[in-house]
Structure 1
Amino acid sequence: MTRLKRFDLAEDSLQDAFVAAAGRWGRDGVPANPAAWLLTTAWRRALDRLRREEADRRRLPLLLVDLPTPAETDDEPDEVSDERLRLFFACCHPALAPDSRAALMLRFGAGLTTAEIARLFLVPETTMAARLTRAKKKIAQAGIPLRPPAPAELAERLDGLLTAVYLLFTEGYRATEGAQLVRPRLAAEAIRLGYELGGLLPDEPEPVALLALMVLQHARRDARIDANGQLVRLAEQDRTRWNPTELRQGFELLGFVREGAGSGRYTLEALIAAEHARAATAGVTDWARIAGLYARLDARTGSPIVRLNRAVAVAEAGDPGAALALTDGLAERLPQHHLVPAVRADLLQRLGRGAESRAAWEDALRLVRTEPERAFLLRRVRSGA
C-alpha cells in the first residue's frame, strides 16, 4: 500500500478489505496469513478503483508511483522490506511538517484513531484532525511520493520514525482511554518495528536505545495490573512477575549504547528504565541517579511530560518541596492530562497541605480517561494515602 500516493484510496481500499474479511472469514475461516490476505485484497480493490477512475477520465496524473502486481513486490531490491515500516518511512518525507509525520504514521501506518493520536500528542482531537487533513492535502498538492526512501535517505527520516514508534509503544504500554490500561499487541508491534529499524541502521545508537527502553518497560507488563485488572504502582509490583528473559535482552541491547554528555533522548530514557529494572526491590532504587538522568533529559527535550516524571523522581529522592516547584506551570501546558494534578496531589499530601491535595485529587479524577487509573485514584482518595 506504500505505492499509493493518495491516503483516501489507501484508507478506502483497506476498509473494503476488512469488510470483505468480516464476511469471508466468518464463512471460510481465518486464513493462514491474515495480514497478507488483507493487503492483497486491499491492493486489488485499489487497482479496481483506479481502473474505474481512468475509464471515467477522472484519474489524477501520477496517481501511482508505479503499478506492479502484488507478486512483483516480493522481488524488489528495497532496503525496507517490512510493509508497515515502509509506510512509516514514506510518511517521514522532509517536505511534511515534523509534527505531521509521526501523526500520519500512527494514523495510516499503525491504524490508531485520530482521537488516540490527539491524546498521545496532548492536543484536542479537532486540532489533530486538522493537522492530518493538512498533511494529506500537502501530499496531494505537492505530489509527494508515498514510497520508501532511498537507502541514503533513511538517516534523515530517523527522528520522526523513532517518535512514531515510541508513541505507538506508549499507547500500548499505558493506554490513553478505555477499560484496559495495557494494550500488549500495540506494544509488541512497536518492539517488532524497533528490531526491524535497528537492523536497517545498525550504526545509529538511538534506535538501539529505543529498543532497549521498550523491551525493559514491556518486561514489567504482567506486574502492572492485578488479577482484577487494577493498576499496581511500581513500588508495589511483584518483581518476580517481571519477565527475566526480556530484562536480560534489554540490558544486552543497552550494552551497545554509550552514555555521554551528548547522549540522546532514548539513551537517557533507556538508562532510567534500566535503573528501575535492576533494583531488586523498590527500596533500593537509586532515585538520585534517576533524578539526575531526568534533569539531563529535561534540559534536552523541554518536554512537560519529562518535567513531570522528573518531579516524581526528585520527590522519591527525598525532596517533595523541590518536586512540587518543578510542577509549577505544567497544568497550563498539559491541561487535559490527569497525571499533573495527581502528582501534585501526592506531593501536597506529603507536605501536609491536605485541603489543596484533596482539590488536586478531584481535578485528577475529572480528567482521567482509563478505568483502571480511575479506580486507582479513587482508592488513593478514599484511603487518604
Structure 2
Amino acid sequence: MHLFCLASAQQLVLNLVSGLATALAVRLGVFEEQAHLGWNFVLFVWTPAIWGVLALARLFGGSGTLRARVAAAACLAGSAALILGLLQPYQAWYPRHDEDDEAEAGSRPRFELTQEATEAQPRLLAARLGELKPQRRGVVDLYAITFAPYADQDVFMRESNMVAGVMADRFDTRGRTIQLVNNAGTVGQWPWATPLNLRRAVQRAAKLMDRDEDILFLHLTSHGARSGHLAAEFGPLSVEQLTPRELKAMLDEAGIRWRVISISACFSGSWLAPLSGDGTLVMTAADADHTSYGCGRLSDLTFFGRAMYDEQLRTQTLSFEQAHAAARAVIKQREEEAGKDDGYSNPQISMGSSIRGRLDALQARLGTTVRR
C-alpha cells in the first residue's frame, strides 16, 4: 500500500509538470493543428501516461500474488487499447449545410473560397486602391470608404453601393471612393470587407489626401451588438469583427484629421464615445440600447440608410447634420408604422467643434443647389 501511494504521488507530479509544459507549448505554438501523433504530443502527453502505467504494472507484478498480476495485466491491456485508439486517423465533425437556408437564399450566389479567389484578392485590392485619385490643391476633397462585412444578407451590399453612389453624385467623390464588401456577387468587383483591408484603404486615402484640408467619409453597414462589435460573416472565410476602438486606432495611425463616420447597425450608439473628437462627425442608426430597423433578408435598404442617404442627402440637402435631423423623424414614423416593438431606434449624432468649419467649406464648394 505504501508503494502504491508513492507511485500515485509520483504520477500526480508528472501530470502536473506535463500539464504546465503542454500549456506553455500551446502558447508558444509548438503544437500544430491535428499533430496528435507528432514528437511534441508524445513528449508532453504520452510519456507521462505510459510512465505511470508501467510503474503501476511493475508495482502490481512485483508483489507476487495472482490478484496483483491480474491487475498488472489489466493495466497493460488498457494502455494498449488506449494507444491503438489514438493511432486511429483524426476526423472532425462539421455541421452539414441546412437545405432550408439554401432555399431561403433563393438564387443568391454562394461564395466558394477557391485558390483563384484567394489569389485574386490582393490584386483586386491593389487595383482599386490604385484607381483612387490624388487630392486637388486648394480644393476641399471628400474621400469615401464604405464597409459592408456581413455577406449573408444582400441589404448591406445594396446599402454600400447606394451610399457610394450618393457620395459620388452629390459630394464629388467620383474617383475617390472605394467599397469593401463581403458578398458572393461582388467577389470580382470589390475587395473583401475585412479589418485589414479597411486599414489598407484608410492608409492609402491618407497618402493621397491633404490631411490638413480634406475629409475622409466612412460608412459602415452591418448587424451590431451591444458590445460594440460590428458583425462580420463571409463563410467559409473567417472575418474578424470590427470595433470602434480598432477603427479609431486605424484613423489615428494614418493621421486622418477630418473624419465623417456613419454607422448603420443595431446598438451603434456605443460607437459614439470612442470615435468622437474635435475633428470628427459621428452619426449612428441607433443609440446604445436599441436596435435599428430594416436589416432583414427581404429589405432593400436599412431604414437609416434609406432616410439619411437615399432620400435626404440625395435630393434634399448637402448638410450631414440637417440630413440626420430630418432622417430621425422619418425613421421614427416608419418604425411605428412597421410595428417595431422594442422602442424607437433613436439615431445619434456627435459633431466636433472644429469639423463643422471643414464641412461648411465643403458644402460651399459643392453649392447649395440641389442637383437632381
TM-score range, shorter chain: under 0.3
Q: Which has the higher contact order (CA 8 A, sep 6+)?
A: 2
Larger Rg: 1 or 2? 2
Q: TM-score, normalised by structure 1?
A: 0.27
Q: TM-score, normalised by structure 2?
A: 0.28
Structure with the largest fraction of helix: 1
